[in-house]
Amino acid sequence: MELLQSLVGGLPAWIQIGLINVAKIVVILVPLMLAVAYLTFAERKIIGYMQVRIGPNRVGPRGWLQPIADALKLLLKEVIIPTNSNRFLFLLAPVLSITPALAAWAVMPFSDSMVLADIDASLLYILALTSMGVYGVIIAGWASNSKYAFLGAMRSAAQIVAYEIAMGFALVGVLMAAGSLNLREIVLAQSGGLHQWYLWPLFPLFLVYFISGVAETNRAPFDVAEGESEIVAGFHVEYSGMTFAIFFLAEYANMILIAALTAVMFLGGWHAPIDTGFTVVPPMLWFVGKIAFVLFFFLWLRATFPRYRYDQIMRLGWKVFIPVTLVWIGVIGFFTFFTPVGHWFH
């Protein structure tokens, strides 16, 4: 940081602030993009082993260069724009789907001091941005001028709206327990070891949040928006080359985002599971480890469960998750105000 400040020292103040912020953004996004690339590799390997296969092992030592090769291939492929599609919206859709997935990382607390924008309402900010991701899907489906893409977009819109409500209510529970909308303070409220994590008092909300997160990112078993067996590839059926790659990037960046938020809100963020008073392992490593743990569940779910039917998805979202979250919010309120164990939540 000092090096950076000395480098830009001679410039006017606002340019300095701008450059330092851009540098911070790069420091967050480059590892994120690498993580996305290797998450695809991890997915293929893990699902491979779960299905008693080997997975990719040809490109580079033990297949480690596979994601790089995939990225190069997608970069070099032709971007096809269908005739009679809406050219501007067709190209805008991937941008709209990746922007919220990346912008949400601005408020992510990696450790006590490492957060790009420590804003007061960061939880709301995250909710607002993740709710905008659906536009990429809807616009892609409409602008493609294709029935399959349109059906995928319609399914996805209904699904995302349904699960967003359950997700929002789960977060209401978290903010009631922590008494703050700031993600950093939510993590700080969980300090003191494994038993202080919100995983325990908010267990139903944890389950609802994680499963809604899987549904929000359109991942199996909730991937009816893509539904290869029925509607080819859903909303991105007409996309090729780099435009397709951006949808792909957005999906995986969203997965990592949901995993990180689960870690922040229910698994104690950067805190070690056992509070020894020393910091042997850097806090950020704990955080990354927790993200990887949650991501493993994403992949495990995909390898295990068959796809939900559309009406079953709707039923689960509206008739199971929303009542569960509402009841548990009531329980939290009751415990916080009327019983002596209220301190457990704070």
Partner 1 sequence: MSFTQLTFYFFAAVLVFAATMVVTIRNPVKAALFLVLAFFSAACVWMTLEAEFLAIVLVLVYVGAVMVLFLFVVMMLDINLARMQEGFTRYLPVGALVAALLVVELVLVLGGSFGSEQLPRPAAQGADYSNTRELGGVLYTTYVYPFEIAAVILLVAIIAAIVLTLRKRPDTKYQDPAKQISVRKEDRVRLVKMPAERRRQGD
Per CB under 8 A, residues contacting partner 1 are 14, 89, 119-121, 124-125, 127-129, 131-132, 134-135, 138-139, 142, 150, 153-154, 157-158, 160-161, 164, 181, 311-312, 315
Rounded Cα distance between 188 and 268, Å, is: 8
Rounded Cα distance between 29 and 25, Å, is: 6
Nearer Cβ to partner 1, position 141 or 268?
Answer: 141
Name the minimum Å distance from CB 320 to partner 1: 10
Helix 283-304 vs helix 13-50: crossing angle, to nearest 10:
40
Rounded Cα distance between 47 and 156, Å, is: 25
Nearer Cβ to partner 1, position 127 or 264?
Answer: 127
Whats the size of the chain, residue-wise? 346
Name the minimum Å distance from CB 252 to partner 1: 22
Nearer Cβ to partner 1, position 189 or 272?
Answer: 189
Name the minimum Å distance from CB 211 to partner 1: 16
Name the minimum Å distance from CB 109 to partner 1: 17
Name the minimum Å distance from CB 162 to partner 1: 11
| Inter-residue contact 256 to 295 (CB < 8 Å) | yes
Rounded Cα distance between 213 and 255, Å, is: 8
Number of H helices, E strands in the chain: 14, 0
Nearer Cβ to partner 1, position 53 or 309?
Answer: 309
Give the contacts of 50 (CB within 8 A, at least 6 positions apart).
Answer: 300, 303, 304
Name the minimum Å distance from CB 292 to partner 1: 29
Nearer Cβ to partner 1, position 99 or 240?
Answer: 99
Rounded Cα distance between 305 and 262, Å, is: 21
Rounded Cα distance between 180 and 177, Å, is: 8
Nearer Cβ to partner 1, position 71 or 93?
Answer: 93
